[in-house]
Amino acid sequence: MSNPYAQISRDGLWSNNIVFAQVLALCPTLAVTGTATNGLGMGLATTAVLVMTGLLISLLRNVITPQVRIPAFIIVIAMVVTLVEMALNAWVHELYKVLGLFIPLIVTNCAILGRAEAYASKENGARAAFDGLMMGIGFTLALVVLGAVREILGSGTLFANASLLLGPAFKHLELVIIPDYRGFLLMILPPGGFLVLGFLMAAKRIIERRRGRSGAIEAGCSPAAHGA
């Protein structure tokens, strides 16, 4: 009915969003979204890994037998993450100092295994890489929104320290939303993450209902990935 790439984009960004629809990757999601900047860093690093593993697994899909696919996917993902970490540390050290904390967390991100299992192992390389890109961007957007809400409520700022991640040119992104704010500790700690995530998911359902769609979560994930 429609262009497959448009469908992939819609799935990744909205209807099958990793955080708000699949509810995967909660460990990195809740751990890093105390600020919008950290959410952005984690999202970008995850996007890079999603594109690479999507492409690799799609290319290997005819070699890997169904019986050993899960361990094979995990080996490929762990290898890509480790190589990315070593390369960043050696050659893009400034970025590594900011993202370094997040990279090992990507291995534990079950959304990457989920995409390998549900999509990349069944589709051609171009589509798998594009799916990785769109899922990654959707994940990044979700993390930035979650981080922004928690940061405004928790610290009264927005995009604090963005210039450390993106370079001095982005200094103007760093905003103080509520001057002389005394802070709301709960929002920065994990319970705040669960609260905000719950409200944002509810908001997504309301928007979908208003638009006359069924709020049903599209099945984009295997049972194995759900268990992760």
Partner 1 sequence: MNASSRIQAFRASPLFQALLLGVFALVTAALLSMGNQTTRGEIEKRRQEDLMASLVQVIPHEMHDNDLLADTLSLAGPDGAPVTIYRARKGGAIVAAAYLVTGHGYGGDISLIMGVDLSGKLLGVRVISHFETPGLGDKIEEKKSGWIFGFAGLSLSSPPAEEWKVKKDGGHFDQFSGATITPRGVVAAVRKGLEFFASQHDAISGEAAKVAVRPAEAGQ
Residue number, 78 or 176, with CB nearest to partner 1: 78
**Nearest distance from C-beta of residue 50 to partner 1, angstroms:** 18
HSE, side-chain direction, 13 A CA sphere, residue 219: 3
Q: Which of 7, 13, 61, 89 binds partner 1 (CB under 8 A)?
A: 89
Q: Which of 35, 46, 47, 140 binds partner 1 (CB under 8 A)?
A: 35
**Nearest distance from C-beta of residue 155 to partner 1, angstroms:** 5
**Residue 175 pairs with which residues in a beta bridge?**
158
Listed residue (166, 212, 196, 213) closest to 19, CA to CA: 196
Residue number, 164 or 200, with CB nearest to partner 1: 164
Please report whether residue 58 would count as binding partner 1 according to CB under 8 A: no
> Residue 21 has what DSSP assignment?
T
Residue number, 135 or 188, with CB nearest to partner 1: 188
Please report whether residue 186 would count as binding partner 1 according to CB under 8 A: no
Contact yes or no for 147/38 (Cβ under 8 A): yes
Q: Which of 183, 191, 198, 215 binds partner 1 (CB under 8 A)?
A: 183
Judged by CB under 8 A, the chain residues 94 through 133 that form the site for partner 1 are 97
> Residue 160 has what DSSP assignment?
T
**Nearest distance from C-beta of residue 202 to partner 1, angstroms:** 25
Judged by CB under 8 A, the chain residues 67 through 86 that form the site for partner 1 are 67-68, 71-72, 75-76, 78-79, 82-83, 86
Task: Count the residues of the shown chain that bind partner 1, applying the rule CB under 8 A.
Answer: 34
Contact yes or no for 196/150 (Cβ under 8 A): yes
Q: Count Cβ atoms within 10 A of the Cβ of residue 172 and give its class: 0-12 exposed, 13-18 middle, 19 or more buried.
A: exposed
Residue number, 83 or 202, with CB nearest to partner 1: 83
Please report whether residue 64 would count as binding partner 1 according to CB under 8 A: yes
By residue count, the chain amounts to 228
Alpha helices in the chain (DSSP H): 4-10, 26-32, 36-59, 69-91, 93-99, 103-107, 110-115, 125-155, 162-166, 185-188, 190-210, 223-227
HSE, side-chain direction, 13 A CA sphere, residue 220: 29
Binding site for partner 1 (CB under 8 A): 34-35, 38, 63-65, 67-68, 71-72, 75-76, 78-79, 82-83, 86-87, 89-91, 93, 97, 151, 154-155, 160-161, 164, 182-183, 185, 188-189
